[in-house]
Amino acid sequence: MKKYTIMLACLILIGLSACNNAAEKEPAPAENSTEAASTAGGQEAVKDDDSAKDVVKVAVGSKDHSTLVAALKAADLVTSLSNAGPFTVFAPTNAAFDKLPAGTVDGLLKPAAKEDLQNILQYHVAVATMKAESFTDGQVLGMVNGDNVTLSVKDGKVMLNGTATIIASIPASNGIIHVIDGVLLPPAKK
C-alpha cells in the first residue's frame, strides 16, 4: 500500500511541476509593462479563419512584406493593427527596406531601438481608410506618430514625401494597405 502512496505522490508531483513550468513560461500578462502598447489586448489572438483579413493578416500573407511584419512584431504594433481601426497602412516592401543603409533594419529590430522603430512604423499608419484614388496633389496626412506625410499625385502615381510611390493597394477588413517602394522617415525631432 505504501508503495502505491509513494507512486501516487510522485505522479502528483510530476503533474504539479508540469503546471509550475507552464506557469513560469507564460509571460506575465502585460500587467507590469509600462512601455508602449501592450501585447495582449488585441484581437490578434482571436481564432477566426472565416472573416475578411485585417491589415496585419494581409501583411503576414505577403511574401514581400516579411521585414515589415517582423518590424511590427518587434514594435508591439500587431495588437493595435489587429483592432477595429480604420487604418491606412503604407507598407514598404522588403526591397524598400533593403534600400536603407546596410545594418539599419537590424539595428531597428534591436530591443534598445524599440521606440525609434515604433516611431518609424507609426509614421506609416493613418487612422482612416483612404483609397489611392481619393488622394490629391499636395494633400497632407496626419500619421499615428504625430507627424505629417505630404502627397504628390502625378499621372496617376501617388508619391509620399517625394520618396516612396504607391505600387499596389490591397483592401483589408479594418482598412487598406498601400504597398510602397520606399521607407518613410519621420522628420527629425524638434
Which residues of the shown chain bind another protein in the complex (CB under 8 A)?
A: 4, 7-8, 11-12, 14-15, 18-19, 22-23, 25-27, 29-34, 36-43, 45-48, 79-80, 83-86, 115, 118, 122, 127-130, 134, 140, 142, 144-146, 148
The CA distance from 95 to 42, in Å, is 29
**CB-facing half-sphere around the CA of 63: CA atoms within 13 A:** 0
CB of 95 to another protein, least distance (A): 28
CB of 127 to another protein, least distance (A): 5
CB of 1 to another protein, least distance (A): 10
CB of 107 to another protein, least distance (A): 20
- Residue 119 class from Cβ within 10 Å (0-12 exposed, 13-18 middle, 19+ buried)? buried
Q: Which is nearer to another protein, 16 or 95 (CB)?
A: 16
Q: What are phi and psi of 123, to 5 degrees?
A: -75, -10
Task: Confirm if 86 and 129 have CB atoms less than 8 A apart.
Answer: yes
Task: Confirm if 55 and 95 have CB atoms less than 8 A apart.
Answer: no
Q: Which is nearer to another protein, 17 or 98 (CB)?
A: 17
Q: Which is nearer to another protein, 12 or 95 (CB)?
A: 12
CB of 20 to another protein, least distance (A): 9
Task: Confirm if 67 and 94 have CB atoms less than 8 A apart.
Answer: yes
35 C-beta neighbours (distance < 10 Å), count? 12
Maximum alpha-carbon separation in the chain: 88
Q: Which is nearer to another protein, 48 or 98 (CB)?
A: 48
Q: Which is nearer to another protein, 28 or 102 (CB)?
A: 28
